[in-house]
Structure 1
């Protein structure tokens, strides 16, 4: 499929999605959200793809936020629907995708951009990255999961500080508080992210898929039950059979 606002590249078992709106610092508009949703849906169904990397074009911005011009004159009902629809077709879709999604945060990651990165399973950032949720400066709150995902990643107190103050934090500070996993130079960011993707792609796709489901339930009462059920289900699947057989035969598994 041809896209206007994103670039999709496939390298071996890794797909790289680049948000390509450099004139607006890769701000999210409705068309970009829809294109991302379509791309993630198609990649989730592609058995050849094991890992997906999400990044922004250029050297300044991952995603600088939502395209405010699109919703500046919305009323309450339209705004709620905007939030609800975005969660359904993109942010929740990424979080619950059966394949790992790694955000390569290459610059500004603000508002909807940070919410997009937080929906990913892993976050790497460049040294020049700035992260924040500035919505309260507009008289709003984060509407794409920021108030829900940020506390789970950094704790309620730090999440409140970031949301209430609307301050941007550096990539290094983001690593210190657990918002990003690693920080690299801008030149190293994508190669290091691809290295991680390659490592992940060698492991069991079905095991990883079940792990995503279990980890996403870790803050719910059903978390342990989800883990135990998934653990049992995997014993009937080919990946487990190959993994155990390879271990017993002292060879690398072929998933």
Structure 2
């Protein structure tokens, strides 16, 4: 299949059975806009359909931030950060949080991650973090909540008290602490995540493809790229997120962020 991409916001390269997928907005801290979401979804569709692809390696361009999450400036301007066109809409935020591929996803978090960036890591299968980075779900600070999987995947992965602390305060936790709690399976020194991600992806790609896919599908309870055990949580999250997104505070939060001022909450 061709290496052509839908947008420069996401770069793809197929090499040695590994589909390298890079969020390519370093000047915007790899924030997710609709082009990023559509590009990642297209990459996952390709991974699912192409038998040559045995593993996906996800990373962010640059060395500062893996992804800052949703592009709040785009949201403040009335833009949509989730594709509305088929087949990409089905994949949700970041082109990956509602639906995924049965091929393993190795995420090399070569930087800190915030909001939707963390949620994209939560949907990955092997996560590699670097010492000295931080991770946060700060959505409540800007008038929304972690509705792209964070509200139900984080408590399933971390101790409930820690997950709720992160979700309700929006404060960051160090990579070292996240590794200790099981958010990531590997931790490396600054600047080494991508190299380690490539090494792990090669290990996976060197194994028998069918049992690897079967192992992921069983472990993640996947049917057609969606978790059957998360179905009720996904539906509830979508319903409540729509309600919150329609509030005045959801407009105020991104606007205040864009204008670099403190938000004025109304609770409605």
- TM-score normalised over the length of structure 2: 0.74
Once the two structures are superposed, what CA deviation does each residue of 1:2-49 show, in whole Å capped at 9, x if it has no partner?
Answer: 331011122211121110101100000011101110111112211111
Match of 1:86 in 2: 92
1:184 aligns with 2:191: no
Once the two structures are superposed, what CA deviation does each residue of 1:34-72 show, in whole Å capped at 9, x if it has no partner?
Answer: 111011111221111111110001110100111012223
Residue 139 of structure 1 and its aligned partner are, at CA, apart by 2.3
What is the rounded CA distance, in whole Å, between the counterparts of 2:83 and 2:38 in structure 1?
15
- The correspondence of residues 10-29 of structure 1 with structure 2, limited to 5 A, is 10-29=14-33
Q: 2:9 aligns with which of 2, 5, 20?
A: 5
Match of 2:169 in 1: 165
Q: 1:200 aligns with which of 200, 204, 207?
A: 204
What is the rounded CA distance, in whole Å, between the counterparts of 1:207 and 1:28 in structure 2?
33
Indicate how the Cα distance of structure 1 residues 61 and 196 shifts in structure 2: closer, same or farther if over 3 A, else same: same
- The correspondence of residues 40-79 of structure 1 with structure 2, limited to 5 A, is 40-72=44-76
Match of 1:253 in 2: none
Q: Secondary structure at the match of 1:91?
A: coil
Indicate how the Cα distance of structure 1 residues 220 and 190 shifts in structure 2: closer, same or farther if over 3 A, else same: same
Structure 1 unmatched ranges of 5 or more = 222-255
- TM-score normalised over the length of structure 1: 0.77
1:109 aligns with 2:79: no
Q: 2:147 aligns with which of 143, 148, 151?
A: 143
What is the rounded CA distance, in whole Å, between the counterparts of 1:89 and 1:158 in structure 2?
27
Structure 2 unmatched ranges of 5 or more = 230-268
1:99 aligns with 2:103: yes
What is the rounded CA distance, in whole Å, between the counterparts of 1:29 and 1:210 in structure 2?
32
Indicate how the Cα distance of structure 1 residues 184 and 156 shifts in structure 2: closer, same or farther if over 3 A, else same: same
Could you tell me whether the CA contact under 8 Å between 1:106 and 1:128 is conserved in 2?
no
Could you tell me whether the CA contact under 8 Å between 1:105 and 1:129 is conserved in 2?
no
What is the rounded CA distance, in whole Å, between the counterparts of 1:88 and 1:187 in structure 2?
24
Once the two structures are superposed, what CA deviation does each residue of 1:182-216 show, in whole Å capped at 9, x if it has no partner?
Answer: 11123322121111111111222111211112111
Residue 79 of structure 1 and its aligned partner are, at CA, apart by 9.7
Q: Secondary structure at the match of 1:71?
A: helix
Residue 129 of structure 1 and its aligned partner are, at CA, apart by 2.1
Structure 1 segments of 4 or more deviating over 2 A? 69-74, 78-85, 87-90, 217-221
Match of 1:252 in 2: none
Residue 157 of structure 1 and its aligned partner are, at CA, apart by 1.6
What is the rounded CA distance, in whole Å, between the counterparts of 1:105 and 1:89 in structure 2?
17
Indicate how the Cα distance of structure 1 residues 134 and 45 shifts in structure 2: closer, same or farther if over 3 A, else same: same
Structure with greater helix share of residues: 1
Q: Secondary structure at the match of 1:137?
A: helix
Could you tell me whether the CA contact under 8 Å between 2:94 and 2:116 is conserved in 1?
no
